[in-house]
A and B are shown apart, each in its own frame.
Chain A
Amino acid sequence: AQRVTQPEKLLSVFKGAPVELKCNYSYSGSPELFWYVQYSRQRLQLLLRHISRESIKGFTADLNKGETSFHLKKPFAQEEDSAMYYCALTNYGQNFVFGPGTRLSVLP
C-alpha cells in the first residue's frame, strides 16, 4: 500500500538555523513526490516537486530512492517559513497520498 510518513508533528527552529523536514514513503513503483505548504489563513499550495529539481524560496528536496525519502531542506530558516508542510506522492496523477504534515515554527 502507498504510504507517506512525516515523523515530526512539530519542528521548531530559530531564525537563521538550518531546517530539515523529513518525509519517507512506501510505494512499489516509481512515484512522483511533492512538497505542499499551507501558510496561516491561506490555501494549500505546491512548494516543489522532485522532477523539477528546483529550489523554491530557498528550499530543496532530493529524492533518495534507496532510502525512500524525500526530505525538505533549507540552510537558513526565515520567520515567514512558519507553516504546515505536507509531503505527498502520486502514481500517474490520479490517486494522491499525503503525509500527516509537519508544522514548522521559526522562532525569532
Chain B
Amino acid sequence: DVKVTQSSRYLVKRTGEKVFLECVQDMDHENMFWYRQDPGLGLRLIYFSYDVKMKEKGDIPEGYSVSREKKERFSLILESASTNQTSMYLCASRPDKVYEQYFGPGTRLTVT
C-alpha cells in the first residue's frame, strides 16, 4: 500500500517567516508533486520533480522553491510566507510509466 506522508496536518506561521513543508513517500516513486488546493480553484501545481535533484516549475511557482535531495523526500519551501499563501498543500507521488498519483493527507497552512 502506497504511503505518502506530510510532516504536519496544520501549521500556523507569521508573515515573513521561512516555512518548510516536508513530504515522504515509501514506494520508491520517481515522480513527486506539490499542489495547493483552494476552494473554487481546485488543485494547482506548484512544482514537480522527476528525479533526485531535478525540479520543474508548475503553474504557480512564484514565492515557492523545492528541494529533492533523496528520492523519497520532496520539500516545499516558502522563503518569506505571505498571507496569500494560506492554503491547503498537497503532496503526491507516482511511479514512472503509471500516471496515477498517490496523494498525502495535506497540510493546512495559515499565514497570519
Residues of A within 8 A of B (CB): 4, 6, 9, 32, 34, 43-46, 49, 86, 88, 90, 93-101
Contact = CB atoms under 8 A, between A and B. Distances in A.
Contacts of A95: 45, 48, 56, 58-59
Nearest to A42: B105
Interface of B: 31, 33, 35, 40-45, 48, 50, 56, 58-59, 90, 92, 94, 98-101, 103-106
Contacts, number: 51
Given A32-B99, A49-B99, A49-B100, A96 B45 contact: yes
B96 to A, nearest CB: 8
B48 A100 contact: no
A44 B94 contact: no
A98 B44 contact: yes
A78 to B, nearest CB: 23
A43 B106 contact: yes
Contacts of A97: 45, 59
Nearest to B6: A43
B94 A93 contact: yes
Contacts of A98: 35, 42-44
Given A9-B40, A98-B35, A100-B40, 6 more contacts: A43-B104, A44-B43, A44-B92, A86-B43, A88-B43, A98-B43
